[in-house]
Amino acid sequence: MARVILRPGEGKMTVNARPFDTYFPSEAMRVEVRQPLGATENEGKFDVLVNASGGGIHGQAGATRLGIARALLVSNPELRVKLRQGGFLTRDPRAKERKKYGQKGARKRFQFSKR
């Protein structure tokens, strides 16, 4: 889950009170988070404050991307078409599958013994 606040500014990004570049270690994650701003030509126009929790770092990057897209939509509803075409308004539906009884995990079984 990510809570995103957009403020007019020069493009500073803060995630959980840490600089954006140190919070997301890989360049791929940083690019993913910036995608909605780039697609709508708003890079450098907003300061972004993010509170992210739960999941892993990659999941938080995806949640931050969705949060930024939704916040941009609130600031300017005319951006809906661009954000929708880029796929930035769609939540990733994947979730952890539950463990089943009589098994070691969701799919893994206990070792079969013939005798």
In a domain, 24, yes or no: yes
Is residue 65 within 8 Å of residue 36, measured between CB atoms? Answer: yes
User: How far apart are the C-alpha atoms of 93 and 61, rounded to whole Å?
Assistant: 15
**What pLDDT shows up at residue 84?**
94
Tokens of 45: 């126009």
In a domain, 105, yes or no: no
**What pLDDT shows up at residue 31?**
95
In a domain, 33, yes or no: yes
> pLDDT category, 115, cuts 50, 70, 90?
confident
Share of residues in the chain with pLDDT > 90 (%)? 89
**Rounded average pLDDT over 48-55:** 93
Tokens of 2: 């990510």
Please name the amino acid found at residue 46.
Answer: F
What HEC string does 93-107 produce? CCCCCCCCCCCCCCC
In a domain, 18, yes or no: yes
> pLDDT category, 55, cuts 50, 70, 90?
confident
In a domain, 102, yes or no: no
Is residue 50 within 8 Å of residue 67, measured between CB atoms? Answer: yes
pLDDT of 14 higher than 90: yes
For the chain, the domain total comes to 1
Q: Which domain holds residue 23?
A: 1-54
In a domain, 97, yes or no: no
The string of pLDDT tens digits covering residues 60-98 is 999 999 999 999 999 999 999 999 999 999 998 988 999
Q: What is the CATH number of the domain that holds 32?
A: 3.30.230.10
In a domain, 30, yes or no: yes
